[in-house]
């Protein structure tokens, strides 16, 4: 573990010597500078954990040195020491980011306590900085895998949106396409990355709990409101709020969210005061939101307010060329995680994966590969290692056709499920749904009537 390194910027030789002696006793590496310019040069050339800075130097004031230090390193802990203390100087130093301010003559033990607190602050700041760097690395644009044209276009848009001041982004795509990953990538590659990323699934809570989670509440606003609570929009001030499955948000909350998006202000539940915040709202849905608007389930004005910057995440079945990239990525990931000697997938295995329609998209592929790597006995994955299935749990062959299970099936149930899936995929467009099933529209309508789907 590297030793703590401190810099003493002080023009009085005796004080420099005294501080150096004490720092040596504490096991620190201490450097000395007798004026401001020398101190700044040493800060540029070395990495310090703390600077002890005299206010009155021969060539410049300590405040001027502190201002330059802040331009170079805004997190470096600086303790001001001076024989000319006054309230105005102290306030100026603290405004420029000094950790503390102590007057001469000082007691060495008192100064060392302040220095210990300053060094602890340095350690915490570096831990936070390292954590943020890890998060940014994890959610860099390179963390989204895709080589097809649609994904390359999406990458460009993500980078543009992240760098922009856009306050509202709308992600549309089927379940499992990675909307949450895209939302985090936008946040952690923007100038909001040092502020909170808060997310909530709009279907996870009841209407009243969801309202309280988003907007907060005042004490006594309802029976169990025993204390004031800040909502996610308030907590995330300066950052991002991700509203997943917004297409299922209750209509009352849609109206309240619309007001917030238009005014960037809201009231806590039971509150009478407007609270203004600066947050980027990223909303996402896997629903056919256009149809939801037509059916009156989603407010048209909210839809237009959200849809300023829409991003479409293509389903995996439209990214057939990316299946190999994604599968190889997950093989390497899970082989390392499970300490398995699996090195890849053979040609038949890839053909098997490409022949499947992936209704669960990338999430489903990830789960399939994870299971295969975990249970595989060989170093190369083969078709037999991949358990593919429809939402009903049937295994499928390499062409994506359901295979007859050992116990047989109820053909009417299978037919009804396929008709329902086709209608869902075609957004209830009967002509398109019929085409997906290789039927005429009349044949489809017959089956819809048969299964009470009209």
- Give the tens place of pLDDT for each residue, 216-241: 999 988 888 889 999 999 999 999 99
Rounded distance between C-alpha atoms, residue 23 and residue 28, angstroms: 5
SS3 208: helix
pLDDT for the residue numbered 343? 95
**Where does the pLDDT of residue 87 fall: very low under 50, low under 70, confident under 90, or very high at 90 and above?**
low
Of the chain, the percentage scoring pLDDT greater than 90 comes to 59
Pairing of strands 5-9, 265-266: unpaired
245 backbone dihedrals φ, ψ, rounded to 5°: 55, 45
Give the C-alpha distances (Å, rounded to integers) separating 14 from 10, 20, 82: 9, 10, 14
Q: What is the mean pLDDT of residues 21-47?
A: 93
What is the tens place of the pLDDT at every residue in 89-102? 667 777 777 888 88
pLDDT for the residue numbered 348? 93
Axis crossing angle, helix 441-450 with helix 430-437, rounded to the nearest 10: 100
Residues whose CB falls within 8 Å of the CB of residue 409, separated by 6 or more in sequence, listed in order: 394
How many other CB atoms are there within 10 angstroms of residue 137's CB atom? 11
Q: Which of 6-10, 115-119, 246-250 has the lowest mean pLDDT?
A: 115-119
Which is it for the CA torsion 208, 209, 215, 219, positive or negative?
Answer: positive
Q: Which of 5-9, 24-28, 47-51, 84-88 has the lowest mean pLDDT?
A: 84-88
What is the tens place of the pLDDT at every residue in 298-307? 999 999 999 9
Residue, of 420 and 361, whose pLDDT is higher? 361
Query: Do residues 286 and 247 touch, judged by C-beta distance below 8 A?
Result: yes
Rounded distance between C-alpha atoms, residue 128 and residue 131, angstroms: 5
Rounded distance between C-alpha atoms, residue 140 and residue 243, angstroms: 21
Rounded distance between C-alpha atoms, residue 83 and residue 285, angstroms: 63
pLDDT for the residue numbered 332? 95
pLDDT above 60 (res 442): yes
Quick one: 218 exposed, middle or buried, by C-beta within 10 A (0-12, 13-18, 19+)?
Answer: middle
Rounded distance between C-alpha atoms, residue 154 and residue 167, angstroms: 18
How many other CB atoms are there within 10 angstroms of residue 174's CB atom? 20
Q: What is the mean pLDDT of residues 442-447?
A: 87
Element (H, E) at 31: strand 29-33
What is the tens place of the pLDDT at every residue in 129-161? 888 778 877 888 888 999 999 999 999 999 999
Q: What is the mean pLDDT of residues 366-379?
A: 92
Rounded distance between C-alpha atoms, residue 428 and residue 357, angstroms: 20
How many other CB atoms are there within 10 angstroms of residue 163's CB atom? 12
Give the C-alpha distances (Å, rounded to integers) separating 88 from 74, 92, 106, 225: 22, 6, 20, 44
Residue, of 16 and 404, whose pLDDT is higher? 16
CATH of span 411-450: 1.10.10
pLDDT above 70 (res 406): no
**Where does the pLDDT of residue 404 fall: very low under 50, low under 70, confident under 90, or very high at 90 and above?**
low
CATH topology agreement for domains 5-135 and 141-312: yes
pLDDT above 60 (res 394): no
User: What CA dihedral angle connects 79, 81, 87 and 88, to 10 degrees?
Assistant: -80
pLDDT for the residue numbered 398? 45
What is the tens place of the pLDDT at every residue in 157-207? 999 999 998 999 999 999 999 999 999 999 999 999 989 999 999 988 889
Q: Which fold has domain 141-312?
A: Rossmann fold (3.40.50)
How many other CB atoms are there within 10 angstroms of residue 297's CB atom? 15
From 90, 85, 93, select the one nearest 65 (Cα to Cα).
93
Q: Which of 253-267, 273-287, 399-413, 435-449 has the lowest mean pLDDT?
A: 399-413
Give the C-alpha distances (Å, rounded to integers) separating 2 from 47, 52, 133: 12, 20, 21
**Where does the pLDDT of residue 417 fall: very low under 50, low under 70, confident under 90, or very high at 90 and above?**
confident
Tokens describing residue 163: 């760098």
Of the chain, the percentage scoring pLDDT greater than 70 comes to 93
pLDDT for the residue numbered 408? 63
Query: Do residues 425 and 436 touch, judged by C-beta distance below 8 A?
Result: yes
pLDDT above 50 (res 424): yes
Tokens describing residue 394: 């049937």
The highest-level CATH class for domain 5-135 is alpha beta
Q: Indicate yes or no: pTM above 0.75.
A: no
CATH of span 319-385: 1.10.8.60
pLDDT for the residue numbered 405? 55
400 preceded by cis ω (within 30°)? no
Edge-to-edge strands, sheet with 77-82: 29-33, 5-9, 50-54, 77-82, 100-103
* Strand partners for 231: none
Q: What is the mean pLDDT of residues 444-451?
A: 87
Domain ranges of the chain: 5-135, 141-312, 319-385, 411-450
pLDDT above 50 (res 330): yes
């Amino acid at each position: 573990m590297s030793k703590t390194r401190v810099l003493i910027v002080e023009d009085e030789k005796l004080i420099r010597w005294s501080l150096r002696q004490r720092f040596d006793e504490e096991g620190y590496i201490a450097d000395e500078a007798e004026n401001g310019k020398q101190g700044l040069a040493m800060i540029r050339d070395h990495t310090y954990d703390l600077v002890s800075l005299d206010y009155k130097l021969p060539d410049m004031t300590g405040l001027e040195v502190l201002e330059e230090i802040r331009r170079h390193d805004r997190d470096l802990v600086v303790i001001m020491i001076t024989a000319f203390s006054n309230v105005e100087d102290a306030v100026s130093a603290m405004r420029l980011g000094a950790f503390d301010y102590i007057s001469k003559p000082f007691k060495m033990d008192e100064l060392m306590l302040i220095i210990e607190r300053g060094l602890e602050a340095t350690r915490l700041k570096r831990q936070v900085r390292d954590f943020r760097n890890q998060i940014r690395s994890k959610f860099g644009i390179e963390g989204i895998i895709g080589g097809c044209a649609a994904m390359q276009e999406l990458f460009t848009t993500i980078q543009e949106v992240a760098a922009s001041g856009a306050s509202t982004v709308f992600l549309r795509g089927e379940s499992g396409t990675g909307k949450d990953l895209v939302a985090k990538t936008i946040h952690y590659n923007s100038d909001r990355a040092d502020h909170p990323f808060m997310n909530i699934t709009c279907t996870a809570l009841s209407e009243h709990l969801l309202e309280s989670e988003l907007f907060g509440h005042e004490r006594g606003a309802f029976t169990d409101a025993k204390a004031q609570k800040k909502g996610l929009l308030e907590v995330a001030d300066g950052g991002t709020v991700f509203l997943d499955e917004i297409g299922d948000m209750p209509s009352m909350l849609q109206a309240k969210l619309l007001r917030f998006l238009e005014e960037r202000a809201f009231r806590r539940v039971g509150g009478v005061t407007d609270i203004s915040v600066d947050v980027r709202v990223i909303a996402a849905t896997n629903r056919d939101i256009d149809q939801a608007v037509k059916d009156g389930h989603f407010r048209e004005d909210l839809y237009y307010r959200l849809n300023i910057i829409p991003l479409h995440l293509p389903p995996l079945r439209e990214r057939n060329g990316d299946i190999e990239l994604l599968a190889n990525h997950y093989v390497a990931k899970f082989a390392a995680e499970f300490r398995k000697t699996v090195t890849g997938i053979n040609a038949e295995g890839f053909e098997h994966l490409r022949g499947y329609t992936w209704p669960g998209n990338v999430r489903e592929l990830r789960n399939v590969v994870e299971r295969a790597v975990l249970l595989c006995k060989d170093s190369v994955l083969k078709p037999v290692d991949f358990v593919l299935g429809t939402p009903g749990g049937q295994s499928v062959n390499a062409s994506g056709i359901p295979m007859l299970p050992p116990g047989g099936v109820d053909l009417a149930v299978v037919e009804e499920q396929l008709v329902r899936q086709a209608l869902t995929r075609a957004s209830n467009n009967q002509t398109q749904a019929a085409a997906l099933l290789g039927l005429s529209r009349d044949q489809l309508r017959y089956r819809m009537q048969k299964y009470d789907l009209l």
